């Protein structure tokens, strides 16, 4: 079974506060569907119900996941219009794992976001995110990233041969690796861009 732990953090809580002030947006709080952020209770059903109701709402809607750690088994979200809009239409927070997204159109807005990582001590990684689409990824900026990698390959871009990633920017990246199998490394496949003030790798 694919599982994921979703940890919602302060940045999205601020974002929610701004949304809540807008009376034209309907908010679907997963707690009202019996989701419990204890890291143990399976919240798959609650998340799915909140998502389905938000998609059926005639108007702007937000699925709100409060601060906490949520366990979720294999869950398939299937929206009728396959569209995400707004500031971070889909936002992946620390501890999100094994996420597969397909046949989705984003915009207007930021689309799919993986951000605000590394702000807390012992924060969990985001991993296993797969986005399957025919769109091209471009104009993405990675800035001021530093720390220690758990693997020798600290940066790995694998983009489509048909529609390569374009206009990637890596600025002030400084990652260390303390393993015995050599220095920290990076790999890029079908990715084009620039590095600025590059440190390691």
Q: What is the pLDDT of residues 14-25, one digit of tens each?
A: 234 344 445 567
The pLDDT tens digits for 65-86 are 887 777 877 666 655 555 555 5
- Asked if 39 and 5 count as a contact pair (C-beta separation under 8 A), the reply is yes
Q: Which of 9, 110, 122, 141 is catalytic?
A: 110
> What's the domain range around 123?
1-133
Please report the pLDDT score of residue 5 as a whole number. Answer: 37
pLDDT of the residue at 11: 25
SS3 state of residue 115 = coil
Residues 122 and 173 placed together within one structural domain of the fold: no
Same domain, 73 and 116: yes
What are the residue ranges in the chain where pLDDT is below 50? 1-21
Question: Cα–Cα distance between 186 and 149 in angstroms, integer?
Answer: 11
- In terms of domains, do 115 and 29 share one? yes
Identify whether residues 18 and 46 lie together within a single domain: yes
Query: Do 11 and 72 reside in the same domain of the chain?
Result: yes
8 given a catalytic annotation: no
Same domain, 129 and 143: no
What pTM does this model have?
Answer: 0.48
Distance (Å, whole) CA 14 – CA 89: 15
């Amino acid at each position: 079974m694919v599982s994921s732990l979703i940890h919602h953090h302060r940045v999205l809580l601020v974002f929610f506060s701004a949304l809540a002030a807008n009376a034209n947006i309907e908010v679907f709080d997963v707690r009202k569907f019996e989701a419990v952020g204890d890291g143990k209770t399976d919240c798959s059903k609650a998340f799915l119900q909140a998502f389905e109701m938000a998609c059926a709402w005639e108007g702007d809607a937000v699925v709100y996941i409060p601060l906490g750690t949520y366990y979720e088994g294999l869950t398939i979200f299937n929206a009728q219009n396959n569209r995400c809009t707004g500031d971070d239409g889909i936002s992946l927070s620390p501890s999100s794992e094994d996420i597969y997204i397909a046949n989705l159109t984003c915009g207007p807005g930021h689309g799919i976001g993986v951000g605000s990582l590394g702000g807390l001590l012992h924060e969990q990684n985001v991993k296993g995110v797969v986005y399957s689409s025919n769109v091209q990824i471009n104009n993405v900026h990675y800035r001021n990233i530093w720390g220690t990698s758990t693997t020798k390959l600290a940066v790995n871009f694998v983009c489509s041969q048909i529609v390569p990633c374009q206009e990637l920017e890596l600025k002030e990246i400084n990652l260390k690796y303390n393993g015995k199998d050599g220095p920290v490394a990076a790999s890029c496949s079908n990715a084009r861009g620039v590095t600025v003030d590059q440190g390691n790798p």
